[in-house]
Structure 1
Amino acid sequence: MPVAENPATNRISNHEIVREYFGYWPSFHDAEITKAAFEANPGYWPSATFTIAAFELTAEVDPKGHYQQTKQCTIELLFTGIREMELEGFSHQNVILSLEIEESGSHIQCTINPSVGLDAFLIAEKVSVLSLTPTKR
């Protein structure tokens, strides 16, 4: 569901891809991190790519009482020039309670608050949307 616009998300390269698809920048509530890849860049700061299975919840419920989903997709976020990173709890399921983006001086800070699994905090020079691939409508 739409949330108040956060101006820090404008610093994410290719953020327009996500905004076009959803009509806003989502909170990623109940989305799931399905893959995390880390790269050590000798002589430079490391990078990390997170693959997120995201969607929008509707107000409609199915016969079991679950809210129906729409705009299902996979989003890849790349964090480059990571200055600080704390990760805990990566598991077989990594459901996001919220994904918060904030400015931290000239860097971007990302906090992934978990419902289950990965709890993460990163400060990076740059964040980019590498791709958004619809999986269902």
Structure 2
Amino acid sequence: MMNSDGTHWSTDMALFAALPGGRAVIDWFGFVPSFHDAELDRLELARGAASMALRAFRMTEAVDAKGFFVLDKHAVVTLHFSDVTGVHLTGIAASILLEVGIRRVAVAPTGFSTCGGPNVGDIEVGFETSYGLEGSIYAREVSFSVDPVR
């Protein structure tokens, strides 16, 4: 994930594990996922809350007969945002993600002309795309649910 000054940041793994449902996501995949190549299945914003569902998987080191990496551990991982304090999105709705980053806001971002915007201590979920929608959602609380896809 890129900061506005061009520096790179990535998920705060301790924060990810401490968020409600974070340990279940880690247990399912075996690590803190970056959600590379996950599909943005759904994004909903309503009355100060939001949810973002990602169709995700684990890429193994094994290759199939056609030379493609074997994918397993398919799941829909949903991020639930309570008390959303800011949203910045750009692109189109169909989206394949490059990376998702999760961290606490250390310096309140600017540019929220229609609301107060995020505060220091809020949680930022930023996502970059290979194709489609990207941006950040800021909230006071974030939790996860993981629904395996068989």
2:46 pairs, out of 39, 44, 47, with 39
Which SS does the other structure have where 2:27 is aligned?
helix
Segments of 5+ residues of structure 2 without an aligned counterpart are 1-9, 106-119
The answer to whether structure 1 residue 111 and structure 2 residue 137 are counterparts is no
User: Which residue pairs with 2:78 in the alignment?
Assistant: 76
**Per-residue deviation, 1:55:** 0.5
More deviation, 55-64/74-83: 55-64
Q: What is the CA deviation profile of residues 51-109 of structure 1, one whole-angstrom value per residue up to 9, with x for unaligned ones?
A: 110100011222333211010011111111111111111333x1110000111132111
Contact 1:107 1:124 in 2 (8 A): yes
Look up the equivalent residue of 1:30 and give its one-letter code: D
The answer to whether structure 1 residue 101 and structure 2 residue 102 are counterparts is yes
Which SS does the other structure have where 2:25 is aligned?
helix
Which SS does the other structure have where 2:92 is aligned?
coil
**Per-residue deviation, 1:12:** 2.0
User: Which residue pairs with 2:91 in the alignment?
Assistant: 89
User: Which residue pairs with 1:135 in the alignment?
Assistant: 149
Judging by fraction of residues, say which structure has more strand.
Answer: 1
Look up the equivalent residue of 1:63 and give its one-letter code: A
Q: Percent identity?
A: 27
- CA 1:100–1:5: 2 relative to 1, 3 Å: closer
How well do the aligned residues superpose, as a CA RMSD in angstroms?
A: 1.9
- CA 1:17–1:134: 2 relative to 1, 3 Å: same
Which SS does the other structure have where 1:24 is aligned?
coil
TM, length-normalised to structure 1: 0.84
CA distance in 2 between partners of 1:31 and 1:90 (Å): 16
Contact 1:5 1:24 in 2 (8 A): no
Look up the equivalent residue of 1:86 and give its one-letter code: H
Segments of 5+ residues of structure 1 without an aligned counterpart are 41-45
Look up the equivalent residue of 1:69 and give its one-letter code: L
Which SS does the other structure have where 1:28 is aligned?
coil
Total equivalences in the alignment: 127
